[in-house]
């Protein structure tokens, strides 16, 4: 028989502190009818789960499913489909790291939104965008304001007092903005407009206003949020590595190259070159993103400048990085005198790359400081 707890206190399984029963959540299967973890520790564990990558992804999916159910529809993808999709999105990785760097502030929380809320298959992966919570809220407000999302708007018709039709607005707020612009003021015209269209007034501000009987239609297609500072997340990531006490010539340099090789800089080089800049070898998955002016010597702007990059096969990337080959300002290959068996690397004197004016300053730097 269980001995009665006279003190009405219990030791928390996590923090080990003895606390009053009221500091524990009730649970039927628990000793004394309460949980083994105190509320504070249980909440912290829950927060840790929600702030993990897996926990955040599950929360995003759950939110999407709830929104879909409120709109009497269903997602066209499963949770497994969504997890597979979002793990491939580079933007999510960078935004998640930035969220961590900002101490998990709500406005920086990575999330998903429907680009176009009123297309037929709006709850599909093809219609999903990724952005931080703050930017998504701004987009929703702009979509409503500009007529891209009219789910809560009711369009209003403007007439002269004699009954002649003038104009249709997608909302009373849009009609208010029009009058403010015409009268060059910030008066709250929407109150009078709403009263008039609801039959509480015959006219307002010299016009008659009526609610449109035709169902409201979206004026513009949905727009995707532009992640203006996405490059900054890569820069912050690299600079965090640079700040660590690791010799720049060894582990740190390799870590940086790994970030670059998997990031936006490489994607931009793939779009620009389409294949190896020298050999035209087009197996993209095997090609390397190589800086002409090394990362450690470049400014932040130069580090992500596509004209400071070449897309190369691994053998060419290695010898270019070591300064055994370079290219002149016409794009012709330069081979170091110390590089005797260059033909074993598939290199010949006739190789060249197509360059633009913007490449030249970086190639001059490479010739002067890296090329042997």
Q: Residue 1: its pLDDT value, please? A: 37
Could you give the CA distance from residue 60 to residue 81 in angstroms, rounded to a whole number? 13
Tokens 């500091």: give the residue: 23
Pick the range with the lowest mean pLDDT from 200-209, 235-244, 323-332: 235-244
User: Across the chain, where does the E strand assignment appear?
Assistant: 9-11, 18-20, 24-26, 34-38, 110-114, 128-132, 156-159, 165-169, 208-211, 288-291, 309-312, 325-327, 333-335
State the average pLDDT over residues 106-129.
83
DSSP annotation string for 11-53: E-TTT--EEEGGGEEE-TTSGGGEEEEEHHHHHHHHHHHHHSH
pLDDT over 70 percentage in the chain: 80
Residues in the chain: 372
Domain boundaries, the chain: 17-48, 52-146, 156-211, 230-369
- Summarised one tens digit per residue, pLDDT across range 227-283 is 655 555 555 555 565 555 555 555 555 555 555 544 667 778 888 899 999 999 988
Decide: helix, strand or coil at residue 107.
helix
Q: Is the pLDDT of residue 136 over 60?
A: yes
Q: Which residues contact 332 (CB under 8 A, 6 or more apart)?
A: 352
DSSP letter, residue 144:
H
Q: Is the pLDDT of residue 43 over 70?
A: yes
Give the tokens for residue 372: 């042997």
Decide: helix, strand or coil at residue 202.
coil
* Plot region of 350 (φ>0 → left; ψ -120 to 50 → alpha; else → beta): alpha
> How many alpha carbons fall within 13 Å on the CB side of residue 138?
11
> How many alpha carbons fall within 13 Å on the CB side of residue 155?
18
| pTM of this prediction exceeds 0.85 | no
Burial, 323: exposed, middle or buried (Cβ in 10 Å; 0-12, 13-18, 19+)? Answer: middle
C-alpha dihedral sign at 170, 172, 173, 178: positive
Could you give the CA distance from residue 233 to residue 88 in angstroms, rounded to a whole number? 17
- Summarised one tens digit per residue, pLDDT across range 78-98 is 999 999 998 888 778 778 877
The DSSP element (H or E) to which 183 belongs, if any, is: helix 172-183
Q: Residue 205: its pLDDT value, please? A: 93
């Amino acid at each position: 028989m269980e001995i009665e707890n006279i003190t009405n206190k219990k030791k928390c399984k996590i923090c080990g502190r003895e606390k009053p029963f009221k500091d524990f959540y009730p649970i039927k299967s628990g000793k004394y009818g309460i949980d083994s973890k105190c509320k504070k520790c249980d909440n912290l564990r829950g927060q840790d789960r929600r702030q993990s990558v897996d926990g955040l992804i599950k929360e995003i999916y759950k939110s999407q499913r709830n929104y879909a159910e409120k709109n009497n529809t269903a997602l066209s993808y499963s949770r497994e489909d969504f997890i597979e999709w979002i793990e491939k999105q580079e933007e999510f990785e960078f935004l998640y790291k930035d969220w961590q760097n900002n101490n998990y502030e709500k406005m920086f929380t990575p999330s998903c939104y429907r680009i176009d809320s009123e297309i037929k298959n709006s709850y599909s992966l093809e219609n999903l965008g990724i952005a931080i919570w703050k930017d998504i809220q701004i987009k929703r407000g702009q979509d409503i304001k500009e007529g891209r999302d009219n789910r809560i708007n009711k369009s209003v018709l403007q007439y002269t007092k004699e009954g002649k039709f003038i104009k249709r607005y997608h909302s009373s707020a849009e009609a208010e903005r029009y009058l403010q612009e015409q009268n060059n003021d910030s008066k709250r015209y929407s109150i009078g407009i709403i009263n008039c269209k609801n039959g509480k007034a015959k006219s307002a501000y010299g016009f008659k206003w009526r609610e449109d009987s035709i169902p409201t239609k979206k004026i513009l297609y949905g727009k995707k949020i532009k992640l203006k500072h996405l490059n900054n997340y890569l820069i912050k990531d690299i600079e965090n590595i640079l700040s660590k006490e690791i010799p720049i010539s060894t582990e740190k340099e390799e870590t940086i190259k790994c970030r670059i090789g998997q990031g936006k800089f490489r994607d931009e080089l793939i779009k620009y070159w389409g294949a190896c800049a020298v050999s035209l070898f087009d197996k993209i998955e095997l090609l390397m993103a190589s800086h002409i002016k090394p990362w450690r010597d470049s400014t932040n702007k130069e580090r992500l400048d596509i004209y400071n990059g070449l897309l190369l096969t691994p053998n060419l990337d290695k010898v270019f990085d070591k300064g055994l080959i370079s290219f002149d300002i016409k794009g012709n290959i330069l081979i170091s005198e110390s590089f005797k068996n260059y033909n074993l690397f598939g290199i010949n004197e006739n190789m060249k790359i197509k360059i633009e004016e913007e490449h030249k300053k970086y190639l001059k730097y490479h010739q002067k400081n890296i090329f042997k």
